[in-house]
């Protein structure tokens, strides 16, 4: 009887801690939605109100249709960059991960460790070298890089360290007997990868695609560095433009725009939640 009581109180305490943590995480999101539905006078009230007296849905219309906020254009730019980044990262990372997981060659472990070490380098450290590389490429090739979206998605076609690691761990769990049977039947290494590994790794590929989409959708520093014209802006960069208009910030419209920006990511996560959880669960740490 004592053990049951201890287990009950332990479980209750665990649930209470989790509820508090979830509440702390939800409070900023709730405040953003609440502010997006307030009038101009209510957002400057002191003390602030958690719930508006009257819901002002017009803030969303103003945020989308204002003359200086090109949200349809920014959404199109963001979708193009995110789509190219997702396709490039998923495909190139899968190829490299298959090589590390299933093809034996000298120095494989050293190269894999070197690749993992790049995950420890933050992007601000790489900003200046990458910018210099794209400047050099623009001067010595007929392709213009600066002032375009190419620097935001072109590097994704050369693999991502985290995505390679994630997919490699999944490929290791695939039995080698499948590959051996395919080789006996005359299948090439590329055929094994394309016809066997990729269909079996759809959950893991979905996780990589979702992570990449979320990163590309909310990326701010990259577009800030490489994009120069407002017609090229992404949604994250467009929100910053909305904040700095006319020397004052319409916080209710800015929060409405922010809600619209994060809404597709939330919807995508809930739609792909089952596949996402399956991919995380089946991507072990073997090897």
CATH number at residue 227: 1.10.3720.10
- Residue 287 counted as domain residue: no
Q: Is the dihedral of CA 11, 12, 16, 22 positive or negative?
A: positive
The pTM of the full predicted model, rounded to 2 decimals, is: 0.84
Give pLDDT tens digits for 87-107. 999 999 999 999 999 888 898
**What DSSP string describes 93-143?**
HHHHHHHHHH---TTHHHHHHHHHHGGGS-HHHHHHHHHHHHHHHHHHSSS
Give pLDDT tens digits for 16-67. 998 999 888 888 888 888 888 888 788 877 788 788 888 888 888 888 877 6
For residues 225 and 280, the answer to whether their CB atoms sit within 8 Å is no
Rounded distance, CA 12 to CA 8, Å?
6
Q: Which residue bears the tokens 């695939």? A: 174
- Residue 251 counted as domain residue: yes
- Residue 198 counted as domain residue: yes
Range(s) of the domain holding residue 243 = 69-282
For residues 52 and 42, the answer to whether their CB atoms sit within 8 Å is yes
The pLDDT value given to residue 247: 57
* pLDDT bucket at 153, cuts 50 / 70 / 90: very high
Give pLDDT tens digits for 161-218. 999 999 998 898 888 888 888 888 888 888 888 988 888 888 889 889 989 998 999 8
Rounded distance, CA 275 to CA 17, Å?
28
- Residue 19 counted as domain residue: no
Q: How many residues appear in the chain? A: 287
Helix axes 2-36, 251-271, angle to 10 degrees: 130
- Residue 56 counted as domain residue: no
CA distances from 206 to 144, 229, 276 (A): 32, 33, 6
- How many domains is the chain partitioned into structurally? 1
- What residues have CB less than 8 Å from 172, skipping those under 6 apart? 101, 284, 286, 287
- Residue 240 counted as domain residue: yes
Is the bond into 47 cis (omega within 30 degrees of 0)? yes
* pLDDT bucket at 229, cuts 50 / 70 / 90: confident
- Residue 46 counted as domain residue: no
- Residue 44 counted as domain residue: no
Rounded distance, CA 169 to CA 148, Å?
35
């Amino acid at each position: 009887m004592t053990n049951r009581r201890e287990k009950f109180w332990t479980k209750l305490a665990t649930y209470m801690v989790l509820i508090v943590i979830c509440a702390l995480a939800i409070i900023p999101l709730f405040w953003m939605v609440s502010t997006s539905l307030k009038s101009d006078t209510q957002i400057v009230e002191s003390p602030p109100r958690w719930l508006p007296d009257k819901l002002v849905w017009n803030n969303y219309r103003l945020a989308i249709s204002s003359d200086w906020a090109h949200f349809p254009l920014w959404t199109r730019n963001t979708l193009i960059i995110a789509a190219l980044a997702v396709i490039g990262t998923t495909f190139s990372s899968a190829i490299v991960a298959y090589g590390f997981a299933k093809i034996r060659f000298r120095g494989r472990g050293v190269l894999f460790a070197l690749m993992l070490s790049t995950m420890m380098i933050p992007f601000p450290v790489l900003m200046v070298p990458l910018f210099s590389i794209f400047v050099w490429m623009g001067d010595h090739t007929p392709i213009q890089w600066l002032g375009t979206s190419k620097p935001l998605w072109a590097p994704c076609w050369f693999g991502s360290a985290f995505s390679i690691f994630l997919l490699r761990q999944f490929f290791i769990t695939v039995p080698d007997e499948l590959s051996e049977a395919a080789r006996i039947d005359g299948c090439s290494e590329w055929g094994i990868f394309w016809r066997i590994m990729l269909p079996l790794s759809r959950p893991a590929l979905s996780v990589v695609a979702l992570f990449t989409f979320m990163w590309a959708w909310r990326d701010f520093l990259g577009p800030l560095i490489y994009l120069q014209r407002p017609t090229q802006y992404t949604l994250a960069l467009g929100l910053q433009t909305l904040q700095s208009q006319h020397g004052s910030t319409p916080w209710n419209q800015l929060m409405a725009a922010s809600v619209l920006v994060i809404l597709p990511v939330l919807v995508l996560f809930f739609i792909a939640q089952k596949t996402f959880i399956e991919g995380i669960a089946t991507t072990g740490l073997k090897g």
